[in-house]
Every structure is written in structure tokens, then in C-alpha cells.
């Protein structure tokens, strides 16, 4: 069974043109259309590629955005509408009324050490992969009785110098040695490689395991020219992030785990989490 995905991917070179036309259709054909590129043209535009195994290239268009700027824009938009924005502030406990409803939180400034209380009509947890850690602080029963709402999956990335790829074209490796997808893309003057996908509890430190860095370097070297030596010293930066895989703990049994989102309210405390 472990070999089945690799066997199926062996048909992808034949199916790729049709698959990417379907992909074009998902955008209602608002993006430039996908097309076939000859080996000669591919090596002209992407000279970093190895010549050995190229038969042809299927080219398609993807969207790209800077998620750090997106997060900053959301925070600034909220502040513009009157929200108070606080960084390095951690919730330490909930504030409960006599009926067990959460009416605020106790918090600590991790820079100054100051502790304070925040009262609100509604409390929303938007903790991503750390949501269950927040939920434990508003759960008054046995911690073992609290059904998890989020399972984490980590993805590691590395950044390589810009000369590893042309400035306007990247590469998708859909059949790596262990079956995971790997993107190899120009990014702000450099080249970003990722991501891995590994289930596990979320951590606050963003350092990726060295084994994953080495795995990405090894995979990258397979399709690059032998003249371009892939070295560990070329890694300009590396980090690991966690994506939340969500499930509604208050939903009926058999609910789906989602990569999209879940909005749920604890009927006992009144806290909503996303």
C-alpha cells in the first residue's frame, strides 16, 4: 500500500496537461492558461535544471502572497476600527461568574511581567494549533474529559540563494522519495523550499529538525544541474510552522477533521473558539 501513491504518480506525466486545464478552470480561467513547454525551452528559461530526465514541462500559474504582511494588515485594520492590539501577552486563566460563564481573562505581559485582568462580553479563542491549550484554561472539569479540537501538523521550509532558480518560475515536485509534495519557488530575491508535513503537537519554537533540512536539500539536488552544488551552508534560513487540523468537539460523533476552519461555542462557559 505504501508504494501505491508512487505507482499512481507514474501516470502523472501523461495526465498533467489535462489536470492543469482542470486547475485553470477552478479560477474560472481568470489566470493565464497552463501550457506545455519543450525541453529546450525549459532549459533556456530554467537553466538550473538537470538535463538528464526532462522530456517536457507542464507550466501552470499559482497565486502567491506574503502571509506575514497579511497578518500585519489584519492587526492594523482591527486597530483602525478601535481594537486594542497587544503582542507578547499571554492568557493565564479565565474569569468566571457565579454561573460558570467566562466574562474575561487574566493575562500577563511576557516582556514586563505585569499581570492584569481583561473583561469582555464575549471571549473568542483564535489560537490556531494552540487552541486546545487555551481551552484547557476555561475547562473546569477533568482535563482528560476535554475533547481535543485541533491536531497539529508541522511544515518545515528553507531559504536558498536566489541563483537556485529564475526569478519568475518555480517547480513542483509531486513525487518525492516519501510521497510528499515539495515546492521550489522564487521568493523576494531568494528561493524558498517546502513544505514538509508531519503530524505532531504544536510548539512555540520555530526551529525545524535537521533531518528535515537535509531531506529537502537531498530532494532538491535530484532535479538540479550537477554544476549547481547543493550545500548545507547555502541555507540562509529555516523555520517550521504548524497548521491546525480542526474538528468540532461539540459536534455529533464522526465529525470530519478539516484543513479549513471550525467555529464552535462551549455551551458551559460561553467561550467561542475558531
pLDDT tens by residue, 141-169: 776 677 788 888 888 999 999 999 999 99
Taking residues 46-53, report their average pLDDT. Answer: 87
Rounded Cα–Cα distance for residues 54 and 171 (Å): 13
> What three-state secondary structure class fits 239?
strand
DSSP 8-class letter at 133: H
What is the structure's pLDDT at 196? 76
Helices (H), the chain: 4-9, 12-26, 39-45, 67-80, 131-136, 210-222
Cβ-based burial of 273 (10 A; exposed 0-12, middle 13-18, buried ≥19) = buried
pLDDT digits (tens, 9 = 90+) for 246-269: 776 766 655 555 566 778 888 889
Smallest Cα–Cα separation from 155: which of 196, 111, 110, 209? 196
Query: Quick check: 58 pLDDT over 80?
Result: yes
What is the structure's pLDDT at 1? 37
Q: How far is CA 93 from the centre of its chain?
A: 28
| Polymer length in residues for the chain | 274
How confident is residue 3, by pLDDT bands cut at 50, 70 and 90? very low
Cβ-based burial of 62 (10 A; exposed 0-12, middle 13-18, buried ≥19) = exposed
Taking residues 70-83, report their average pLDDT. Answer: 94
Smallest Cα–Cα separation from 94: which of 125, 66, 57? 125
DSSP bridge partners of 193? 158, 184
Smallest Cα–Cα separation from 95: which of 107, 108, 106, 80? 106
Smallest Cα–Cα separation from 158: which of 237, 224, 228? 237
What is the structure's pLDDT at 7? 59
Query: Quick check: 25 pLDDT over 80?
Result: yes
Share of the chain above pLDDT 70, in %: 89
The reply to whether the predicted model has a pTM over 0.85 is no
Largest CA distance in the chain: 75
Amino acid at each position: 500500500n505504501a508504494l501505491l501513491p508512487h505507482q499512481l504518480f507514474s501516470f502523472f506525466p501523461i495526465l498533467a496537461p489535462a489536470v492543469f486545464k482542470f486547475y485553470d478552470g477552478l479560477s474560472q480561467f481568470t489566470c493565464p492558461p497552463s501550457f506545455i513547454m519543450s525541453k529546450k525551452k525549459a532549459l533556456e528559461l530554467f537553466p538550473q535544471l538537470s538535463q538528464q530526465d526532462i522530456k517536457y514541462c507542464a507550466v501552470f500559474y499559482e497565486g502567491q502572497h506574503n502571509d506575514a504582511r497579511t497578518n500585519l494588515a489584519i492587526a492594523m485594520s482591527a486597530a483602525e476600527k478601535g481594537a486594542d492590539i497587544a503582542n507578547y501577552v499571554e492568557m493565564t486563566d479565565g474569569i468566571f461568574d457565579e454561573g460558570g460563564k467566562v466574562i474575561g481573562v487574566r493575562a500577563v505581559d511576557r516582556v514586563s511581567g505585569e499581570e492584569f485582568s481583561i473583561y469582555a462580553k464575549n471571549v473568542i479563542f483564535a489560537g490556531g494549533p494552540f487552541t486546545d491549550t487555551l481551552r484547557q484554561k476555561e475547562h473546569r472539569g477533568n482535563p482528560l474529559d476535554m475533547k481535543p479540537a485541533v491536531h497539529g501538523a508541522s511544515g518545515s521550509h528553507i531559504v536558498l540563494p536566489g541563483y537556485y532558480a529564475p526569478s519568475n518560475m518555480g517547480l513542483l515536485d509531486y513525487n518525492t522519495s516519501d510521497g510528499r509534495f515539495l515546492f521550489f519557488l522564487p521568493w523576494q530575491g531568494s528561493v524558498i523550499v517546502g513544505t514538509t508535513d508531519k503530524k505532531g503537537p504544536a510548539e512555540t519554537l520555530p526551529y525545524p529538525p535537521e533531518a528535515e533540512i537535509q531531506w529537502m536539500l537531498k530532494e532538491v539536488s535530484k532535479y538540479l544541474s550537477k554544476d549547481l552544488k547543493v550545500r548545507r551552508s547555502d541555507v540562509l534560513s529555516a523555520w517550521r510552522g504548524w497548521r491546525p487540523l480542526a474538528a468540532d468537539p461539540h459536534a455529533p460523533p464522526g465529525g470530519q477533521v478539516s484543513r479549513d476552519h471550525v467555529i464552535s461555542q462551549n455551551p458551559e462557559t460561553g467561550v467561542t473558539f475558531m
